[in-house]
Structure 1
Amino acid sequence: MIALPEGSTPVDFAYAVHTEVGNHCVGAKVNGKLVSLALPLVNGDVIEVVLNKSENSGPNRDWLAFAKSPRARSKIKAWFSKERREEAIDAGKESIARQMRKVGLPLQKILAGHALLELAHEMRYPDIESLYAAVGDGHVSSTSIIEKLVSALGLDDHHEEPALENLISGATIHAPKRSASGVIVEGVGEVLIKLARCCTPVPGDAITGFITKGSGVSIHRVDCINVADLELNQGDRMVGVKWDPNAKSIYLVNIQVEALDRARLLSDVTRTLSDQHVNILSAAVSTSRDRVAISRFSFEMADATHLDAILTAVRNIEGVYDVSRVTNN
């Protein structure tokens, strides 16, 4: 018997059992019937949580829209805070490395030495990862980091390309240029463009751009859960973008497949995806005791207009009863 706030859902129940149960929850049965994770529970319900045992599985941001208990909401936010920090560290490290190459600094020598750690301490960050995260989050620019490194190492600085902010706010407006990402930033020339992994936009999605500091322009779906916060707190860094209809790019897509479990089900799904000429990056499958298999696939595809055909092909596999694209992970 577990006591929960009124209106609680299977997600609240899962986190009440254990944090890891909540984080790996992918479905639930109430009184023996498979139900939506957003279903409000009532007194006396018997709940069974369906788990994804993959190490890479985690909660969905959309759960915050219906989770009621303070514990569940806190744990979901904590999981995404950790994920955002890891992404910020990667983005910051990449941005600093790119800036080092631009000005001709010895990349491997500096990363292997203590110069960055000493600079992090000088800037009152406890470690290098905190410095990377600050750059990735836009709190400090990689350009300023490199300027401090050049000064500390006694090296001559080189002429740097104009910052993205200057390109956008400067008097000269360049004609839009095509990008390998398949996106055109309106009123801006050649800039680094990155498709956000939080919502994995593909051509056909309504999109918007966010000017990061040191990592170019990040492209989000307009309905991405992060966009509302960015527009509210950093609206001056939003920029108009549009898909390039003539671009030939590779796009990341995440889908979820729900099916009755059977022999060779995973093999049939992966073969169908391969027949559709997509590059499968990862697959995670969980199966409940009532033989319901919930699978998540991440794959790359070159022609996003072909996505509907891919979903239809998977939906036609024996035993599959639902296939959907996952946008906010």
Structure 2
Amino acid sequence: MALDEAAVRADEAASAALDRPAVPPGSASFPAAMPASTPAVVKRRPIMRQYELVERVRAYDPEADEDLLNRAYVFAMKAHGSQLRASGDPYFHHPVEVAGILTGFRLDCATIATALLHDTVEDTGATLEEIDRLFGPTVARLVDGVTKLNKLELQSAQTAQAENFRKLLLAMSDDIRVLLVKLADRLHNMRTLNFIKTDEKRRRIAIETMEIYAPLAERIGMDSVRAELEDLAFGHLWPDAKASISHRLGQLRRDEVDLVQRITVELTETLAAADITAEVSGREKAAYSIWRKMERKNMSFEQLSDIMAFRVLVADVADCYAALGIIHGHYAMLPGRFKDFISTPKPNGYRSLHTTIIGPEKRKIEVQIRTLEMHEFAQLGVAAHWAYKDNAAITEGRRYRWIRELLDILEHANGPEEFLENTKLEMYEDQVFCFSPKGDLIALPRGATPVDFAYAVHSQVGDHCVGAKVDGRMVQLRYRLQNGDQVEIVTSKNAAPTAAWERFVVTGKARARIRRYLRVRQRSDFVAQGRDIMQKLAKSEHVAITDKLLERALANFTQKTVDDLLASIGEGTVGPKLVLDAVYPELKRPALPDVDQKVVPIRRKTEDQPVDKKQSPILGLPVGTAFHYAGCCHPIPGDAIIGIVRSGRSIAVHRMDCAVIGRDKELVERAIDIGWNDKGARTTRARARLALVFLNKPGALGLVSTVVGKLDANILDVRFGRRSGELLEIALDVEVTSLEHVSRIMAALRGTEGVCSVERSSS
């Protein structure tokens, strides 16, 4: 990989950047501000001429549709006209460069034409109908897929990122060429990112590139694109660190003149002596790859000894293993550093043998052994197998199973934030490989459980899972699967997901399906609860209540169906007496005079709170009744609640799903129907308990408290739980105003660096 000459000449003082703590790569939380230094300016290249682009395509596809390419080139040039980019270049320079990048992957004419036209619909007066008429439905469909509906750069919140990512994936699902064009578009934008003057915008684009586009490039096997995107983003996010590493590499190169060449020659001669013809090449590892390893293993630059990597290309698979045997026979192998991706390819189809040895001149080096075909796929990914003639759909098969899994998450996710959380789980975890009893290979994120495996097999298998056998022995459903495990799922038609599963599953698909089931079940419970509440109230008033009568009240409470109204009553968001008054106006009591509402303070202890009904946040209690909030479940405004009556005590306000009530039938018999007074509860601050698991690192708890404070919440108590390796569990009591408030806090904490999981706790 070519090093940035400006970075190589960086001042020696830049090396101090390596000694400062940095945010781990792949994290959602990046530095709050860009460092003062910026990457070196990219030299402008002259625009590629029309005939040059056509000749590039004809070089690998002699039957290319020259007329289509020529018409697309001229149309895009006229459409963009005098538009300029931030660099001062004509805007048309950008689509031509994107098309040039794609010719390097030997893509078909429709994709090259799409690259030329990909910004015309959004940034010019051209329409999709015009593209369809002039260039055909295939190009129009691809252009529509690539068109940035709301611009794919991050705007301000995770919601925008998730929604745009959703659109990109939906477009990509029909034809993966959409993603190829988008990756080339992002690659050229990153190459010219330094021309954008706003530091914050450069940082947003670099974060998005590191978090979404580089992992997507890796997932479809386009390693060269992934490496360049990561390196370019690295230079904008941590320019001092990149300059320092590049300086160290340059110094190492000057001190060890021709070292790579000498090792290459010795490896070639060693293999030739065993009658193995091989092409050996060496390179220094990329600056970002080195920095990521230093951060992951907490090592200094001087402690890294495998900075160089060597690639051995042979004729066939048999020669791969033969070459491996020769190399291991001549040089000492480092235990635990051998990986066979030929017999067990990566999910993106990558195949190669990886080993680390004490090689020539006693240097620790990494060696990758593969065939020429494997090497081509490692560099080009899906583009290496593109079918020009029959336009075969390449999103089929196990290699692209991850795309279908992400689409399944789209279907079941409750909102954009949840979708982004689940897709990040899918995209950033290391893999473990497990087998079904029939021998089917299933790749899962590291730390996956039998429940994740069950959902990977089929959604229905996951929904009805009751147990699992690993290598013939029964294991708990929270068991962490290991590479090579053979997993058999035990199912029952009467089984169903439980809330506990959500705490230990790691795949986005499993989590989305579990949450969807729990939401549906909770709604049905609320409907049944609301119906029971209304029947009891109607009976006490000596009137009848039916669904037909309840339809009269729908408009009063802006509900679409009777079930919606009953669910709202069951949740406690709509008062049952108000509904009955709407159905039977003659039962309506005289309205009480309007008075100012006062906050009912929630104390750390559960002292009784005698309050006037007109001031109370609770509906359904007689005037002057004392009540307290139960410490077992910590109800907050927005929760579905019930009151528990005990002789000689104040009313205890519990959440309807409180585990204490569920275990005690006597308490259920003492329950009364209550709800929240919207006006009174609006100013009430209540205690919510959150269960957090995060990396036990300096400053982690400080980040958590900062997030909570920024969302206008106060931490009341912190209780430390178990420590397991690098992970720490805590119970965090937070003062909030509503269920929506605590949901926003949980969403923000889930996106905080180092936080592994956040759940609301009732214990």
- Normalised by the length of structure 1, the TM-score is 0.51
Deviation at 1:139, TM superposition (A): 1.1
| Contact map agreement 1:92 1:133 (CA 8 A) in 2 | yes
C-alpha separation in 2, matches of 1:141 and 1:98: 13
Please identify which structure carries the higher helix content. 2
| Contact map agreement 1:168 1:187 (CA 8 A) in 2 | no
1:2 to 2:477 alignment: no
- CA 1:59/1:40 → structure 2, altered by over 3 Å: closer, same or farther? same
1:76 to 2:538 alignment: no
1:93 to 2:531 alignment: yes
| Contact map agreement 2:526 2:569 (CA 8 A) in 1 | yes
Amino acid at match of 2:559: Y
1:15 to 2:455 alignment: yes
Amino acid at match of 2:560: P
Deviation at 1:233, TM superposition (A): 5.9
Corresponding residue of 1:261: none
1:29 to 2:491 alignment: no
Corresponding residue of 2:646: 184
Amino acid at match of 1:39: Y
Deviation at 1:49, TM superposition (A): 0.3
C-alpha separation in 2, matches of 1:231 and 1:101: 40
Query: Which among 492, 498, 516 is matched to residue 52 of structure 1?
Result: 492
Structure 1 unmatched runs, 5+: 175-180, 215-222, 237-327
Deviation at 1:60, TM superposition (A): 2.1
Instruction: Provide Cα deviations, 1:276-324, integer angstroms capped at 9, x if missing partner.
Output: xxxxxxxxxxxxxxxxxxxxxxxxxxxxxxxxxxxxxxxxxxxxxxxxx
Q: In terms of Rg, which structure is larger?
A: 2
SS in 2 for 1:4: strand
Corresponding residue of 1:132: 566
C-alpha separation in 1, matches of 2:644 and 2:553: 37
SS in 1 for 2:444: coil
| Contact map agreement 1:168 1:188 (CA 8 A) in 2 | no
Instruction: Provide Cα deviations, 1:249-294, integer angstroms capped at 9, x if missing partner.
Output: xxxxxxxxxxxxxxxxxxxxxxxxxxxxxxxxxxxxxxxxxxxxxx
| Contact map agreement 2:619 2:675 (CA 8 A) in 1 | no
Amino acid at match of 1:6: R
| Contact map agreement 1:29 1:49 (CA 8 A) in 2 | yes
CA RMSD of aligned residues (A): 4.5
C-alpha separation in 2, matches of 1:102 and 1:84: 27
1:111 to 2:546 alignment: yes
- Normalised by the length of structure 2, the TM-score is 0.24
SS in 2 for 1:3: strand
Please identify which structure carries the higher strand content. 1
Deviation at 1:38, TM superposition (A): 1.0
Deviation at 1:169, TM superposition (A): 8.7
Corresponding residue of 1:67: 505
- CA 1:185/1:125 → structure 2, altered by over 3 Å: closer, same or farther? farther
Deviation at 1:93, TM superposition (A): 0.9
| Contact map agreement 2:621 2:674 (CA 8 A) in 1 | no
C-alpha separation in 1, matches of 2:539 and 2:653: 15
C-alpha separation in 1, matches of 2:658 and 2:579: 26
C-alpha separation in 2, matches of 1:146 and 1:231: 36
Deviation at 1:173, TM superposition (A): 4.8
| Contact map agreement 1:28 1:50 (CA 8 A) in 2 | yes
Instruction: Provide Cα deviations, 1:222-269, integer angstroms capped at 9, x if missing partner.
Output: x9x9xx999976789xxxxxxxxxxxxxxxxxxxxxxxxxxxxxxxxx
SS in 2 for 1:39: coil
Give the alignment of 1:1-329 within 5 angstroms.
1-54=441-494, 57-105=495-543, 107=544, 110-111=545-546, 113=548, 115-151=549-585, 155-157=586-588, 165=618, 171=624, 173=626, 184=646, 187-188=649-650, 200-202=662-664, 212-213=674-675
Deviation at 1:168, TM superposition (A): 6.3
Structure 2 unmatched runs, 5+: 1-440, 591-611, 628-642, 677-688, 692-730, 740-761
Name which of structure 1's ranges 60-69 and 193-202 shifts more when overlaid on structure 2.
Answer: 193-202
Amino acid at match of 1:135: I
Sequence identity, in percent?
25
The higher relative CO (CA closer than 8 Å, separation ≥ 6) is in 1
- CA 1:81/1:182 → structure 2, altered by over 3 Å: closer, same or farther? closer
Deviation at 1:128, TM superposition (A): 0.3
SS in 1 for 2:646: strand
| Contact map agreement 1:195 1:201 (CA 8 A) in 2 | no
Paired residue total: 207
Instruction: Provide Cα deviations, 1:30-88, integer angstroms capped at 9, x if missing partner.
Output: 1111111111112221110011222xx21121111210000101111111111110110
C-alpha separation in 2, matches of 1:63 and 1:128: 32
- CA 1:100/1:171 → structure 2, altered by over 3 Å: closer, same or farther? closer
| Contact map agreement 2:469 2:488 (CA 8 A) in 1 | yes
- CA 1:171/1:124 → structure 2, altered by over 3 Å: closer, same or farther? closer
C-alpha separation in 1, matches of 2:664 and 2:625: 30
- CA 1:235/1:125 → structure 2, altered by over 3 Å: closer, same or farther? closer
| Contact map agreement 2:526 2:570 (CA 8 A) in 1 | yes
- CA 1:167/1:11 → structure 2, altered by over 3 Å: closer, same or farther? closer
- CA 1:173/1:37 → structure 2, altered by over 3 Å: closer, same or farther? closer
Deviation at 1:144, TM superposition (A): 0.9
Amino acid at match of 2:475: V
Amino acid at match of 1:201: R
C-alpha separation in 2, matches of 1:10 and 1:47: 7
SS in 2 for 1:2: strand
| Contact map agreement 1:28 1:49 (CA 8 A) in 2 | yes
SS in 2 for 1:58: coil
| Contact map agreement 2:498 2:518 (CA 8 A) in 1 | no
Corresponding residue of 1:294: none
Amino acid at match of 2:508: P
| Contact map agreement 2:451 2:477 (CA 8 A) in 1 | yes
Deviation at 1:188, TM superposition (A): 2.9
Deviation at 1:11, TM superposition (A): 0.5
SS in 2 for 1:61: coil
| Contact map agreement 1:167 1:188 (CA 8 A) in 2 | no
| Contact map agreement 2:552 2:583 (CA 8 A) in 1 | no
C-alpha separation in 2, matches of 1:167 and 1:182: 12
C-alpha separation in 2, matches of 1:166 and 1:121: 21
Deviation at 1:14, TM superposition (A): 0.4
Amino acid at match of 1:124: T
Corresponding residue of 2:710: none
- CA 1:60/1:193 → structure 2, altered by over 3 Å: closer, same or farther? closer
Corresponding residue of 2:167: none
| Contact map agreement 2:533 2:673 (CA 8 A) in 1 | no
Instruction: Provide Cα deviations, 1:123-167, integer angstroms capped at 9, x if missing partner.
Output: 32121000000110111110111111122xxx34469xx989378
